[in-house]
Amino acid sequence: MATKPLTGTKVFLMLVAFFGVVIGVNVTMMKLAIATLPGTDVDSPYAAGLTYDREISAAQDQAARNWQVSAHIERRADGAATLQVDARDAKGLPMSGLKFEGRLERPTDKRADVSVELPESGSGIYRGNAAAVAPGQWDLVIEGETRGQRVFLSRNRVILN
């Protein structure tokens, strides 16, 4: 059986095919990586840096109020979740008239975040529902405001089964 000779054209075509496959795989992997994880924690790090001092001041004001705010979240079998916030002042009295909002944020994918409106359902009790909450780790963010000003912020890692 006679073998065909290795010519310069064959070597050139083998090199082009090899590097074409390598470049094609690299481009595909880059596109998948960029589409999967955006890689940003905040939309504008510059703007976040400018508000840093205000956030420190707001945290000090919140600590001085000495409020007792507790949250309970429960995920049901159908995938929906119920979030309840119990807000009390420094003396332990229920706080009414605040506007609370909750957010379930995925630590790994900002696109999966779920907002939960928390209307007041009783004296100092704020309750809301979220549909289609997947199991796993979430950051539970609770914000409370009065007269258009944020007066409470809490961020806690929770695991929903």
Each residue of 106-138: pLDDT tens digit?
Answer: 988 888 899 999 999 989 999 999 988 999 999
Structure tokens at 82: 């119920």
pLDDT band at 77 (very low <50, low <70, confident <90, very high): confident
What pTM, to 2 d.p., does this model score?
A: 0.68
Structure tokens at 101: 């909002």
Report phi then psi at 61, rounded to 5: -65, -40
